[in-house]
Amino acid sequence: MLKSFRVENFRSILDPVELSLVPAEGVRHDMEPLPADLLTRAAIYGANASGKSNVLAALNWLRLAARNSLRDWDDRNPTEPFALAPAQPSSFLISVLSGEEEYEYSLQLDGANIYSEELLQVFPGDDRRMIFRRIDAMIEFSDKSQSLTGVQELLTPTTLALTIFNRLRNQEVVPFAKTLLDIRSIDSGRGDVTGSGLNYIRRLFDEEVDYNILHGPRGRAEERSLVKEMLSFVDIGVSDISLNRESGRRIIRSNSDEIIYFPEIQLEHSGDGESFALPFRSESRGTRAWLNILGVVLPALRRGAVILVDELDAGLHPILCHELLQMFADSSVNRFGSQIIFSSHDVSLLDGLDLDEIWFTSKSSRGTTKLYPLTEFDEKQLAPVVGELGSAYIKGKFGSIPRLGLLPEFVANVSQLAEANEQ
């Protein structure tokens, strides 16, 4: 589970911002008790271009860095610093729970060098034990008796020590690395044929894939029925899902000649005694987005993973979004502490969230992103609007809304021009 995440100098984020899933004192929660005393939902609201997506992208960037640095990073680290601070290092700090253990990992780097990395194990009372520490090309490991020869041979200015330790299956590092790498990120507005959720759907409905590999003790028939039932929420005419192997897309994997083939998903529709199949690309945007989300959420709920969703409401009805969020707040469904962190413009979702699950982004005059929680406002400010958070947000009570500026004057000018043209 994710406890907190802090980032500095990434895209529109120049100064440090921190997202915390530690519950605030005195806030009532829909889910009681909270798994590991951490929130299972976090929503980020803000005006367009205020940096909502960049907070999620920064966390996903760290995941991809841990996965790919040894394989894909050659001459440069693919950092994305703030445009006006390209020479300043970017920093990341993440705290997670993996089973019973808490870990904290920090990273500082720029495009040319990795300056520092550190993985700590955190104990009750905030005591810490260093697992490994890297300063430039020097690395230190907690177990002094363990040889670091293999790590040193692979260590470069563009390779994370974390990636190397995990690749070598170091048992001190693997639990943290697994939790970080299990994070899943989806853009609900895309719903394209290569989305990670759709890849899961393909495997689920592909008879050539061993379902035991995917589901463990859970049967394929049960999982398929659940997907089809939830898909009927957006289209009551869908009766089944199939794969068309004669139609699909071939993708060349980056940095290799391997070609990956994605057979096309087809949704079987029935009604008035007739049935027909539609290719996935012909379905509505909402249907595509919903199926992609289901393909990420359902397996994540079984293993307690973190899910990042940019623009949750893109193409989805508010009721669907609400029901999805309720799954994460229901201990009978979310038995393993899965978490969803999402951005949205749908203010109707605000009143279905707990007060400490709501965050806002705003942008300064310099173009830098600020991230702050709803609980930053005092009780006197919040008490009158509890139950009407959506309305209060639209009225600007919490900031983080578009600045209309000259829009009223622009509308008036357009109206005058229209009247002049009619004369």
Exposure b/e, 376-398, CB count within 10 A at least 16 = b: ebeeeebeebeeebbebbeeebb
pLDDT value, residue 420: 72
Q: Is the pLDDT of residue 189 over 80?
A: no
Structure tokens at 58: 């920064």
Exposure b/e, 336-360, CB count within 10 A at least 16 = b: ebbbbbbbbebbebbebbbbbbbbb
Higher pLDDT, 67 or 86: 67
- Which residues on adjacent β-strands are paired with residue 5? 19, 94
pLDDT, tens only, 80-128: 999 988 889 999 999 999 999 999 999 999 999 999 999 999 999 989 9
Query: Please, which contacts does 395-398 make with residues 24 or more away whose CB atoms are closer than 8 Å?
Result: 398/360, 398/374
Higher pLDDT, 98 or 275: 98
State the pTM of this model: 0.91
Q: Is 64 exposed, middle or buried (0-12, 13-18, 19+ CB in 10 A)?
A: middle
Name the pairing type of β-strands 306-310 and 339-343. parallel
Q: Is the pLDDT of residue 192 over 70?
A: no
Higher pLDDT, 131 or 210: 131
What ranges do the domains of the chain cover?
2-183+305-394, 195-284
193 pLDDT tier (thresholds 50, 70, 90): very low
| Average pLDDT value for the chain | 90
- Confirm if 121 and 173 have CB atoms less than 8 A apart: no
Nearest to 161 by CA among 125, 135, 189, 188: 135
Q: Is the pLDDT of residue 1 over 80?
A: yes
Q: Is the pLDDT of residue 219 over 80?
A: no
Give CA separation, 35 vs 43, 270, 356, in Å.
18, 41, 15
Sheet holding 339-343, edge to edge: 184-187, 306-310, 339-343, 41-46, 358-363, 369-373
pLDDT value, residue 90: 98
pLDDT value, residue 220: 82
Structure tokens at 280: 């996935």
- Per-residue DSSP letter, 220: H
pLDDT, tens only, 351-399: 999 999 999 999 999 999 999 999 999 989 999 999 999 999 999 999 9
Interacting residues of 341 by C-beta distance below 8 A, sequence separation 6+? 2, 19, 41, 42, 43, 44, 56, 59, 306, 307, 308, 309
**Mean pLDDT computed over 214-220:** 62
Task: Tell the residue number behind the tokens 């640095």, with chain if given.
Answer: 69
- Per-residue DSSP letter, 10: B
**Mean pLDDT computed over 30-56:** 95
210 pLDDT tier (thresholds 50, 70, 90): confident
Name the pairing type of β-strands 41-46 and 339-343. parallel
The class of domain 2-183+305-394 in CATH terms is alpha beta
Q: Which amino acid is at 405?
A: G
Rounded CA separation 107/109 (Å): 7
* Range ranked top by mean pLDDT from 78-87, 205-214, 241-250: 78-87
Rounded CA separation 94/6 (Å): 6
176 sits in the region (left: phi over 0; alpha: psi -120 to 50; else beta) called: alpha
